[in-house]
Homo-oligomer: A and B are copies of this chain.
């Protein structure tokens, strides 16, 4: 079972939260809210999208790279972990 299935509930919750934030932007634009408010809401969306991306990448690395390794491939597992620690810094 893929990580997008295993973490389906959690991932869907993230996607729906992001959609909710976009709907708030939509309502602000329709209500002609002060644009500084719109800008700040849009800035939060970026953080939320990075969080979703990081969760997908972590899951992908775990399920499609690390977990399928046959015994004796510890070097690859260690290399993948090292890479994740750098990617995390870029998406946080």
Chain A contact residues, CB within 8 Å of chain B:
2-5, 8, 11-12, 15-16, 18-19, 22-23, 25-26, 28-30, 32-36, 38-40, 42-43, 45-46, 49-50, 52-53, 56-57, 59-61, 63-66, 68-70, 72-73, 75-76, 78-80, 82-83, 85-87, 89-91
Measured CA separation A12–B23 after assembly (Å): 10
Q: Is the CB of B42 within 8 A of A26?
A: no
Measured CA separation A11–B18 after assembly (Å): 17
Measured CA separation A8–B29 after assembly (Å): 7
Q: Is the CB of B40 within 8 A of A56?
A: no
Question: With contacts A29-B12, A42-B53, A65-B79 known, is A59 near B72, CB below 8 A?
Answer: no
Q: How far is the CB of A29 from chain B (nearest CB, A)?
A: 5
